[in-house]
Structure formats: C-alpha cells, structure tokens
Structure 1
Amino acid sequence: MLSAEIAEYYRRGGERDRLAEGQGRLEFLRTWDVLTRVLPDPPAEILDVGGATGVYAGPLADAGYRVHVVDPVPEHVAAAATRPGVTAALGDARSLSEADASVDAVLLLGPLYHLLERKQRVSAWREAGRVVRPGGVVVAALISRYASLLDGFVHGFFDDPGFRPLVEHVLSGGVHLGGVRRDATPERTWFTSAYFHHPAEVAAEVTDAGLVVERVVAVEGPVWQVGSGLDGILADPDRTALLLEMLRRVESEPSLLGASSHLLAVAHG
C-alpha cells in the first residue's frame, strides 16, 4: 500500500480540487479527450486503478460504462462509491484482486506517480495487463521529468529556498521527494513523494511488463505554462475548443513531450 507520507498527503485532501481550474482543469479536459478516443465503446467494463474519489469514474459511468474504482486510500474509496453507477474497493495497483482477462480497459491515472522503483511500476503495468481482456486497452498517466522545474518558474516556487533541492533531485534521477513549504499549511505542502518519468523511458517499462505500446502523448503540452491565463481561455467555450483541437494535433510530437506536465501512455494487452 502507500507509504505513510503519501497516504497522509491524500487524506489531507491535497489533490481534492486540483482538476477543477487552470492547469488542473486543462489536464482533466485533455485526459478526457484522449480517453474518449482510445476506450472501447460503452457499456465496456473499466477498472479505474488509483481512481481516487472518482473524478474520471463518475463521468465514465454517466457515459454508460461499467466502472469499478480500486484505490489504496479509504477516504477515496468511500467518496468514489457515492457516485452513481460506480463501485469502489480498497486495493493496490501491484496486486489486483480482479481475475485474469476480466475487464475491457484499465486506467492507471495515478498509481505510477507513487511507485518510486522501476520494478514496482513494471508490476503495476503487468497487473493491468493480466486483468485486461486480450486486445484491451491500458491507459496510464505519468508526470514529466521536467514538470517541477517548469512549475517552479510558472508559479514562483523557486522563491522558497527549499524548492530547488527537490528539483535537483528529480533531474538527477526522477525521484521527487515530498517536502514542506516554508509557509506550510495543509494546502501549502509540496507534492508528495513521486516518480517523474523521462519520456524516453516509458516504452521500455511497458514492454517489460509484456504489453504493447501504442503511443505516448503529451497531456497539456507546453500550454500549461501560460499559468493563470489559462482560466480566461477555459472560461470561453470557443477558445477551449480551439485549444483542445490544436493540442490534439501535436500530442504525439516527440519534441514536445518533455514540455508537458503530464504524459499518457496508451498500451494494449
């Protein structure tokens, strides 16, 4: 299960509202856009591993999918289970209780963030491949190796002397060590311990788990660096539609992968 530090971060609600506005809202819209193009048609059965409070499971259920959330945080499971059409249970991405070839698609939209060792991440991919039906799709979210470096300048985090060591550690090996900000409150704590992927290493992890990589795409691309200006864009339906259309056109461009805050890897069993 999760380490005490990571579990406490989520129990405090550190990610509760992250996908509601600005950069987080763009992440949600882009992830949803990709899912609508790669998932099988409803009423396919989807296993949402690390699905937290059901931020994606809820809309998927509304769209007609049968969705089951597995998450290691009890509070997340309780919240996800209140969403209409969604079931939820405690579980670990590295050792799923689901039977072999029992679902049509698996989402890993969080677990790989917090598996700091490569063998653990491969185990999560392998478990996803075990429970998905032959030819089924597995979609996983990853944090980009350069996300904290860029975020530091977008939001002025480098003003805190404790931030640079976190970035240096990520750049040297991909591991982000959770830290406390100088103005620490539950809402002002640096992101908890996580692994930030280099785009070039994703395919090898997937392949080692016995899956076939279809593609790796940039979620936000470099546009998330607009910062607070994103709110104005996303408040306008026409500008939002244009933004999503243009990002869709360049989502697989290799030269832009490292500039995105998040990546999505799409694989098949």
Structure 2
Amino acid sequence: MLQREILDYYLRGGERDRLSAGTGRLEFLRTWDVLVRSLPPAPAVVLDVGGATGVYAKSLAEAGYRVTVVDPVPEHVAAAGSLDGVEAVLGDARALPAADASADVVLLFGPLYHLQERVDRVTAWRDAARVVRPGGLVVAATISRFASLFDGFVKGFFRDPAFRPIVEQDLAQGRHENPGGVPRWFTSAYFHRPDETVGEVAEAGLSLRRLVSVESPLWMSGAALDGFLQEPALLLEMLREVEEEPSLLGASSHVLTVAVR
C-alpha cells in the first residue's frame, strides 16, 4: 500500500512525537481548534484515515466520539488500537474497510500528501465520500506547495546543496522526492497549491465548505513560537480571525479542506 521509502520513514518514528512541540504543536492545536468548531456533536462516528498512532483519535475518543483509525502502517495500527475508546484497522485510503454511509465524519489527515498522483488523491476523496453519510463531513489536510522553501530557510536546510534541487522540484511540480529514494528530510510526498483541492473535491462529488490555514505564517517565527505556545489562548483566538484569508493560505505549512457530502 505504501512505498517502501514512506513506510521506512514512519517505522523510524517519523510521526511519533511530531505534534508535541514547536511547529507540530501549533499544527495540532490549530487543527483541533478547527475540528471542535466543525464536527457534529459526540457521539458521532469518526473514521480517522491515516490517523497514525492516534493523536487526534485519542482526543476525539476522550470527547465522546466513536473513532476508528485506518492506517497502512501496522505499527501505527497497534499503537492507536491500544488507546482507550479507539478502534484501529489496517487499510488504504483508496479502498476503505468501511461500509457505505457508515460514518458521520471522515478525516484525511495523512493520505493526500502521500499520494503523488492526482488520480489516487481523487480516488481517496471518492472513497471518503462513499463512506460518509449524506450531510457528513470530510476534512482533509494537505501540505503547502511552498512548505519546503520556507522550511529550508527557517531550519537552515539550504546549507546542504542537495536540498535546493528538491525544493525546486517541489515548486515546479509539487512532487517531493529524495535523491536515491532515501529521505534526509521529509519522505516522498505531494505538496498542494491551496486551490488544487477545490478541483479534487468537486471531481469526487463533494461540496466544498471552506479552506482553512492551519499554522498561518506563524510557523516560521522560530524561537518566539515556543513563547506563544506557553499560553496559546490568544494565539488561537487571533488566528481564527484570519484562517480563511485567501492570501495567507499558501504561507501556512498545512491547509485544511472541509467538504460535505
């Protein structure tokens, strides 16, 4: 189901602690903030596709939702399935192990940026549309086309001459690939322009509700970000004010697409 390179990346722990500090913590807090304002009330049924070790599933289960994680990495499934109130099964976003109209919400927080071909991404959207009930939500995360460019300057990756060709391909084609198939930074992925998901949603037969900037440009604020995250209430309140501002979407590391069947 997964390319060997991608599987190896996650087996090395690529997702284990990513959302617990720094820009990952900002991503989690903002994504959760969008979810609690968008999802139907518990105990709605949520299918967390590509849910990895269950970071969001754990919070959803604690809030009273009935959550099933679907992930292609066996170790992720084992970790998520060990959480209280969370079921977890092995599966592929393009052929979900779930019945038609069996979920109130489908989350696609990982699959779309590991499906480099548009036909595969639209297939994942379509299967999410099949599984979600009429009127239900599909919420998907994508990585910005410009994320590697900004990340390279923020974290000093451009000091390595091998990084620039990767970024140039990201910008030109959206296809993030590592020379020789060995990731030195992030693994193989597809980086979206914000408006690309609009077409994917429409082709899958879903209706777009909104596009949301997750981190905004604040993910590039370096050491200052840690201070903002110590008491994030003001940060979250202010970012809600600009989360749908079109001019800021591409400057966010991640964008959430909220669609409805």
* TM-score, length basis structure 1: 0.95
| Contact 1:179 1:189 (8 Å CA) reproduced | no
Give the equivalent residue in structure 2 for 1:63: 63
2-side partners of 1:107 and 1:228: how far apart? 31
**Cα distance in 1, alignment partners of residues 26 and 124 from structure 2:** 26
Name the counterpart of 1:152: 152
| Match of residue 94 from structure 1 | 94
Pick one of 223, 228, 243 that aligns with 1:251: 243
Q: Which runs of 5+ in 2 are unaligned?
A: none
Code of the residue aligned with 1:189 in structure 2: it is R
Q: Which residue of structure 1 lines up, in the alignment, with residue 207 of structure 2?
A: 212
Aligned to 1:266: 258
Confirm or deny: 8 A CA contact 2:15 2:52 kept in the other structure: no
Q: TM-score, normalised by structure 2?
A: 0.98
Aligned to 2:194: 199
- Contact 1:179–1:191 under 8 Å retained in 2: no
Task: Provide the C-alpha distance between the structure 1 equivalents of 2:47 and 2:70, rounded to a whole number of angstroms.
Answer: 7
Runs of 4 or more consecutive aligned structure 1 residues displaced over 6 Å after TM superposition: none
Shift of 1:15: 2.0
Per-residue CA deviations over 1:26-77 (Å, capped at 9, x if unaligned) read: 0000000000011110000000000000000001000000000000000000
Indicate the residue corresponding to 2:227 in structure 1.
Answer: 232
In structure 1, the residue matched to 2:48 is: 48
Question: Could you list the per-position Cα deviations for residues 164-214 of structure 1 after superposition, in whole angstroms to 9, with x for gaps in the alignment?
Answer: 01100000110001358xxx9xxx831000000001211001100000000
Distance in 2, Cα, partners of 1:200 & 1:106: 21
Say whether the 8 Å CA contact 1:144–1:199 is kept in structure 2: yes
Q: Distance in 2 between matches of 1:175 and 1:104?
A: 32
Aligned partners of 1:258, 1:218: CA distance in 2, in Å?
8
- The secondary structure found in structure 1 opposite 2:6 is helix
RMSD of aligned Cα (Å): 1.4
Counterpart of 2:168 in structure 1 is: 168
Give the secondary-structure state (helix, strand or coil) at the position aligned to 2:93: coil
| Corresponding residue for residue 81 of structure 2 | 81
* Structure 2 residue 234 is the aligned partner of structure 1 residue 242: yes
In structure 2, the residue corresponding to 1:76 is in which secondary structure? Answer: helix
